[in-house]
Amino acid sequence: MNRDSLHPETRKLSRQFRSPQRITITMPYGAYQRLLERSDQEGRSLSNLAAFLLESAVGSMDDPSMHFK
């Protein structure tokens, strides 16, 4: 069965439960150090903190009051 033949609600649910994806980024050393310190303070992995911060930033993109000017 191909994805297009699924009921619209089923397609919507399948998008919600997609597995996490990996990315690789290059960032300034100072930003890396700050993230590393914060992850230690919060008792979470660096990748978990980075994913949380990115997801928060992407979520705020829909909020016009959070846009950079």
Is residue 22 predicted with pLDDT exceeding 60? Answer: yes
- In a domain? residue 8: no
Position 49 scores a pLDDT of 97
**pLDDT average, residue stretch 36-57:** 96
**Within-domain flag for 39:** yes
CA–CA dist 11, 16 (Å, integer): 9
Q: Is 29 a member of any domain?
A: yes
Given a contact cutoff of 8 angstroms between Cβ atoms, the answer to whether 45 and 34 are in contact is no
pTM: 0.63
Q: What is the mean pLDDT of residues 19-41?
A: 95
Q: Which residue has the tokens 């297009």?
A: 4
Flag whether 50 is in a domain: yes
Residue 10 lies in a domain: no
Task: State the total domains in the chain.
Answer: 1
Range of the domain at 31: 23-62
CATH of the domain at 36: 1.10.1220
Residue 42 lies in a domain: yes
Q: Say how far apart CA 45 and CA 3 lie, in whole Å.
A: 35
Is 58 part of a structural domain of the chain?
yes
- Mean pLDDT score of the chain: 83
